Structure 1
Amino acid sequence: MAEGDGVATHGIRVRLDGTASESDIDALHKWLEREKPLADLARTDQLRIDERIRIDEAGAPMGTGMDIVVAVLGGAAGAIFQSVVDQVRRSVEAWRANRREVENGEPPEASVEPVRPDGR
């Protein structure tokens, strides 16, 4: 493996609010994995989508909450990062719209923000 390959150089945290259930987090994770632009990057090892235990600013776990972290990998990460952030935002909004159509009640609010590769 060449230097930088498979190493997270930029990250994006997707956080659902406190109304989210575990099934919401799982459904959003799967939705992101199926979004074509993200799936194409994952297939070429330029992107990885993981769930991580939610942590506070000091790095301590925050209850049982989970975040979804989209890690942009390798040497080209800087060049494509903003387009990936934009795609993740669009994908999260599409998931929220879909959830609104297929389930009762409002979907959880979501935030999408760049983070360090360790998820903080």
Structure 2
Amino acid sequence: MQLRRLERQPQIFGEAGSFTPSEIHTIEAIGYEGGVLMSELAARLDVTKGAVTQLIARLEAKAAVTRSPHPYDSRAIVISLTEKGKEAYRAHEEVHVQFYDELRILLSKQEIEIFENCIEKLNDFLGSKP
């Protein structure tokens, strides 16, 4: 229940402002450099193209991403981060760094290894589910 609550809870990411976990993970999947095709983004996030379209619409409304036509394929759309999106990306990366810094303070090296091993096994387990 706590994870579900956290998944819906928006957070502030630097000067870029507030983003939900699904929005910030979409920004992360787009990547800091260059752009990504809408279909490739759906594959990276393991969601439908329709879900990605909705996420991108929300991120466009927040001025975090832009859509542009593919230079060679008129059917394809390229998604890129705006300066605001790049700021959110950097702030999100900093959240990860701070998280691991705090873990290093709270846990021993052996406990961190166990934690990372458990997370890897959980990811593998969840990835094998339909």
| TM-score for the superposition, normalised by structure 2 | 0.33
Between structure 1 and structure 2, the one with the greater Rg is: 2
If asked which structure has higher relative contact order (CA below 8 Å, sep 6+), I would say 1
Compute the TM-score of the two structures, normalised by the length of structure 1.
0.35
